[in-house]
Amino acid sequence: MNYIVLDLEATCWESKNKADQNEIIEIGALKINEDGNIIGEFCEFIKPILNPQLSDFCKNLTTITQADIDTADTYNIVIKRFKKWINQAEPFVLCSWGFYDRRQFEKDCKLHKLDKTWLSNHISLKHQYAELTNLRKPIGMNEALRREGFKLEGTHHRGIDDARNIEKIFDAYFDYWVI
């Protein structure tokens, strides 16, 4: 079993306009084997098709630049590379901090008319962490890092950096995640 600890960044705006559909602009992921060892890393930008111009809010929040996504491939191309990197021939589970990432993958698969059955094996580390640590409700990654005595490293709201930070919590509770 391989564990794919991942974090996505998506197009975003300061105002919440229902007409604006978010699209993934970065996939950051670590592949961890059944012994708990990191055996691979994946990080790619994605060029959105609905709103190809990033909002200033999005650029400031994520530090992803317009040039980063202008030179990137679209979702349908990047997701093929990501799925190949996962190696679906081996058992795997997608692990993210909450359910947002899975839902965003589903939305982008629908937008690009791609199969989404590969998303069926997913767990929310955020919700399981709350249960494991007897919290009344799930908390954000930053707060969980602080509770565990870990320092946030890299840039928050960058997919690969957040995936690396989530992996610290994943590793601390490696034997307790329910797949």
How would you write the pLDDT of the chain (179 residues) with one tens digit per residue? Answer: 999 999 999 999 998 776 679 999 999 999 999 999 999 999 999 999 999 999 999 999 999 999 999 999 999 999 999 999 999 999 999 999 999 999 999 999 999 999 999 999 999 999 999 999 999 999 999 999 999 999 999 999 999 999 999 999 999 999 999 99
d(CA 124, CA 141) in angstroms, rounded, equals 12
Predicted structure pTM score = 0.96
Determine contact, residues 37/118, Cβ cutoff 8 Å.
no
How do 2-10 and 24-32 pair as beta strands? antiparallel
Residue 59: predicted pLDDT:
97
d(CA 76, CA 49) in angstroms, rounded, equals 11
CATH superfamily of domain region 2-176: Ribonuclease H-like superfamily/Ribonuclease H (3.30.420.10)
Report H helices in 30-124.
56-62, 66-70, 75-86, 100-111
- Burial status of residue 25 (CB atoms within 10 A of its CB: 0-12, 13-18, 19 or more): buried
Amino acid letter for position 88? Q
Residue 16: predicted pLDDT:
77
